Amino acid sequence: MTYATKARFVLSFIRKTLAQYNLPDELKYLSIIESGLNARAVSRARAVGLWQFMSGTGRYFNLQTDWYVDDRMDPEKSTDAACRYLSQLYRIFGNWELALAAYNSGPGTVRKAVRRSGYKKSFWEVYPHLPRNPSLRSAIHCYYLRYELPSITICLKRLVNKCYRMIRWQ
């Protein structure tokens, strides 16, 4: 199966699940940024799966993790858990920029950054207090390109280039 065929299949499934939870369709690109659509991807920090769940976060969202089964690698279960997690983060922070930052670095880290910024609610006022993380910057950048520019082509081109580099590394 080619990468394009796999991407079409996985992204259509993700799109349906996002619609069930009334989440923005653009969040489907987060799984590309996180894992390159590789359900068996494992990061250096031991985050696993399409959505790069850490073990504790996976358990919190009822993803079984033991020596035999790791539901974080199951595309259906992990996508459902990711949608619930993103919904929860949006309810906590009230905007998608901070929710995406919390998805990537943890809600505690974002709360601390908000506190250090003087309880500002704008992502760009909180941003200097967040840890530097390339995938976080990519996710936020793509979100802004989608909503601030009339065309998404620049965002898609960057995503495709990033995915190509990720595939070459594997």
Active-site residues, by number, are 34
Beta carbons within 8 Å of 95's beta carbon, 6+ residues apart: 121, 123
> Which residue reads 């992204």 in tokens?
11
Give the SS3 label for residue 50.
Answer: coil
Maximum Cα–Cα distance across the chain: 50
Q: What span, in angstroms and rounded, lies between the C-alpha atoms of 126 and 120? A: 7
